[in-house]
Amino acid sequence: MQRDTSFLTWPFFDDHHRQLAAQLELWCEAYLPVDHSDIDQACINLVRMLGDGGWLKHSAIDPKLLSVQALDVRSLCLIRETLARHDALADFAFAMQGLGTGAISLFGTKDQQQWLHKTRAGEAIAGFALTEPQSGSDVANLELSATFDGQNYILNGEKTWISNGGIADVYCVFARTGGAAGAKGLSAFIVPADSPGLNVAERLQTIAPHPLARLSFNKVAVSAGQLLWVWPDAHYTKL
């Protein structure tokens, strides 16, 4: 049966959206679905392929342009719909590159945004580490602590249900820095996956498999330059 593409004529799509959808459709027909027998390897391969194809350029801002307008939501919808129709894992791999780097696109310094060159090229895999065992919907209840020792922030605690956990090269980690209660003491950090003290405590299985893990942070030292965002009136706890 012929696929109905009449939605591409809807008035909020421009010609470049129609071209994007047509080009990605051809790419998907050529490369997807991939072999899912090894889920971690499949995701690693997909990120590389999506990078090589140029599709990950849509997942984060171009650090050279420094404009969040580069994140075009209509393009993101078309890309995700097309990838998911061909291979759900490809959509997952694409979406996570954006979720894991969203805060870097929006709030990162020029130095921090250097990560985006790699994630947009498929050379680094991103993860987003917010959820904790006692704090899912209730984000303001998160407990992973970041205390400043005069040189570095020291992260201690746990994150769970972290997509790309185990294969990510870098995580955006939310932690409690301030003395203020609830959401008013939270900050975000860029934490490379190979930081000493950051470990995969458990791999989690789901009905629709994808890399998913519980992460433990045991005295993970993060430099002040990796502090991505801080609640404006948080005050830092000194060791």
Ligand X SMILES: Cc1cc2nc3c(=O)[nH]c(=O)nc-3n(C[C@H](O)[C@H](O)[C@H](O)COP(=O)(O)OP(=O)(O)OC[C@H]3O[C@@H](n4cnc5c(N)ncnc54)[C@H](O)[C@@H]3O)c2cc1C
Residues that bind ligand X (CB under 6 A): 128-131, 136-138, 161-163, 206, 212
As measured in angstroms, the least distance from the Cβ of 211 to ligand X is 10
Q: Give the contacts of 213 (CB within 8 A, at least 6 positions apart).
A: 160, 162, 165, 166, 200, 201, 202, 203, 204
3-state secondary structure of 39: helix
Residues 26 and 83: beta-carbon distance below 8 Å: no
Closest residue to ligand X, based on beta-carbon distance: 136
Of the two residues 6 and 206, which places its CB atom closer to ligand X in the complex?
Answer: 206
As measured in angstroms, the least distance from the Cβ of 174 to ligand X is 8
As measured in angstroms, the least distance from the Cβ of 94 to ligand X is 14
As measured in angstroms, the least distance from the Cβ of 134 to ligand X is 8
As measured in angstroms, the least distance from the Cβ of 150 to ligand X is 29
Residues 131 and 71: beta-carbon distance below 8 Å: no
Instruction: Measure Cα distances from 167 to 43, 82, 226 in Å.
Output: 8, 24, 20
Of the two residues 75 and 163, which places its CB atom closer to ligand X in the complex?
Answer: 163
The backbone region for 66, taken as left when phi is positive above 0, alpha when psi lies in -120 to 50, beta otherwise, is left
Of the two residues 24 and 155, which places its CB atom closer to ligand X in the complex?
Answer: 155
Q: Measured between alpha carbons, how far is 161 from 132 in angstroms, rounded to an integer?
A: 8
Radius of gyration of the chain (CA): 19
Of the two residues 27 and 132, which places its CB atom closer to ligand X in the complex?
Answer: 132
As measured in angstroms, the least distance from the Cβ of 95 to ligand X is 10
User: Which residue type sits at 232?
Assistant: P
Q: Measured between alpha carbons, how far is 166 from 169 in angstroms, rounded to an integer?
A: 9
Of the two residues 131 and 226, which places its CB atom closer to ligand X in the complex?
Answer: 131
Of the two residues 162 and 186, which places its CB atom closer to ligand X in the complex?
Answer: 162
